[in-house]
Structure 1
């Protein structure tokens, strides 16, 4: 690991940039390898990913049982250790200690790229802070796989991942995204698809184009292309199976969407009453908090007292 330093002629603060080479120089510490795994089709596992998993000393896996099936298929005998969202705080110091002792570790999620809607980013940050080398291995990714086949504009795009499960928070997220002119990429589970499409229709607009990408790289891979309204109608009348990637077209009129996204306070309260089944005082309190206002201000607006 090397550091380049440069200073300005006028005596300003010394600036440093950290430079880490993946392949040059001696390294007495171990290396963290970020290894993507197939999102469905085992044929997408690269030879480099296989050799990396064979050569490292330890594999940090999101689900060791799921990863063991992959290891068995490719006859990889490397030991595993669990690393998931529920043991991150406990596990990171342990993994960093091993890396500092010279142990090479590969980190994998259940499918696709580590850190993309999966654990990993905190470990990468900890490694960088500890001056431990991090080497990414290219490979499968559901978002980009869906995007290039969607027929919607592939760049620029905004990858969002999973929207909130709570109606109010999901609507707020979409209101903030409604003015984006770039293609939007979401992940969604089958049992939440209908609710998400309903929110998309109400906030982004029923006529906005969308592509539902289902079971990517698997036997029943499908692309459903149409408007959000058509997608919502299909989801309401079909048996929903498989994991989905949603590609939504950008907004050609962002200024109009931005003005529509800012709802009057009384309408925000009404939405909470309708969608969250809250009591009026609880809804007023939540709207006040979201808008950084005093509760009395929202109370007066809602009850038309000002």
Structure 2
């Protein structure tokens, strides 16, 4: 088996014309090596998004560990790949990981795939990677399609740091507690959500985080791809009147927060009115919590302050 690398040096002397340049181009082809584990990203909707490298790896490995073997078999059939499959999903990953590590130690090469996107990102994969690395096995990432990066690239609201939260808890109480952890996070928040829970998530985001600017990507790379930007309340209204199908990626802009440790209550309320888009209710809740005051007391004071100082925006 060829396990070498092929490098080609190209200098400016190899080019002519006004666009001649000096550069070094390295083309490296790493063939599969016995006992390696390849973590392979697969399309999230459009089959044309799979990489040439991913196709080669899926053909060359001895075995493919798949979240759903039926789903992955359709992908392989489309590209005329006949590598054997073995199931690897959330419910069996602990036991199956041990089995796969033994196969790797015996010299087999294995590719790990999920139903869509990159294994280990809100999909099974981390357990196998951890156990394989612990056994001294080389892990090789094969990057490619990702709903996370696809949505971020189209959102235009998370240029700096962002915090990926995966799926929020499905139950309302747990979800609200989960979201409250990130009220003052200075980063954009990125979540995944299923179509039948998106309204519940948006409602809780509105209540806990306020009516921030946000973006959703739905059915990414598919025929009915839907990209929407607006406030949380606008997205919630849209979700309530349309048929929601396909998983969502929700990106929420960071809130504007002011740490309040004391001082003038009226000045603090005025600052929030002039520097944020939070509702009077949201501001009252936050300031009351920060100052240890009664929520109703702060709310009544906020009514007075905001009535005396109309928002000019």
Q: Please say whether Structure 1 and Structure 2 have the same fold, judged by a TM-score greater than 0.5.
A: yes
- How many residue pairs match? The answer is 242
For 1:279, the equivalent position in structure 2 comes to none
Does residue 81 (structure 1) correspond to residue 78 (structure 2)? The answer is no
Which blocks of at least 5 consecutive residues in structure 2 are unaligned? 1-28, 261-282, 296-313
- The 5-angstrom pairing of residues 13-32 of structure 1 reads 30-32=35-37
- Structure 1 distance, partners of 2:87, 2:166, is 23
1:220 to 203, 224, 237: 224
Q: Verify the 8 A CA contact 1:181 1:254 in the aligned structure 2.
A: no
Instruction: Give CA-to-partner distance per residue, 1:13-70, whole Å, 9 cap, x none.
Output: xxxxxxxxxx99x97x500000000000000010100000000000000000000000
Which blocks of at least 5 consecutive residues in structure 1 are unaligned? 1-22, 268-306
Does residue 103 (structure 1) correspond to residue 108 (structure 2)? The answer is yes
Instruction: Give CA-to-partner distance per residue, 1:107-147, whole Å, 9 cap, x none.
Output: 00000000000000011100111000000001001011101
For 1:43, the equivalent position in structure 2 comes to 48
Deviation of residue 253 (structure 1)?
1.2
2:195 to 187, 190, 199: 190
Q: Verify the 8 A CA contact 1:36 1:139 in the aligned structure 2.
A: yes
- The 5-angstrom pairing of residues 157-172 of structure 1 reads 157-172=162-177
Deviation of residue 237 (structure 1)?
1.8
TM-score (norm 2): 0.73
- The 3-state SS of whatever aligns with 1:177 is coil
Q: Verify the 8 A CA contact 2:190 2:250 in the aligned structure 1.
A: yes
For 1:63, the equivalent position in structure 2 comes to 68
- Structure 2 distance, partners of 1:191, 1:259, is 30
Instruction: Give CA-to-partner distance per residue, 1:192-215, whole Å, 9 cap, x none.
Output: 011000000000102x00111111
Does residue 250 (structure 1) correspond to residue 257 (structure 2)? The answer is no
Q: Verify the 8 A CA contact 1:35 1:107 in the aligned structure 2.
A: yes
Q: Verify the 8 A CA contact 1:31 1:135 in the aligned structure 2.
A: yes
Instruction: Give CA-to-partner distance per residue, 1:164-199, whole Å, 9 cap, x none.
Output: 001111001100011111111100111001100000
- Structure 2 distance, partners of 1:181, 1:243, is 26
RMSD in angstroms over aligned alpha carbons?
Answer: 2.5
TM-score (norm 1): 0.74
Deviation of residue 154 (structure 1)?
2.6
- Structure 1 distance, partners of 2:257, 2:207, is 16
Does residue 53 (structure 1) correspond to residue 73 (structure 2)? The answer is no
Higher gyration radius (CA): 2
- Structure 2 distance, partners of 1:172, 1:262, is 15
For 2:77, the equivalent position in structure 1 comes to 72
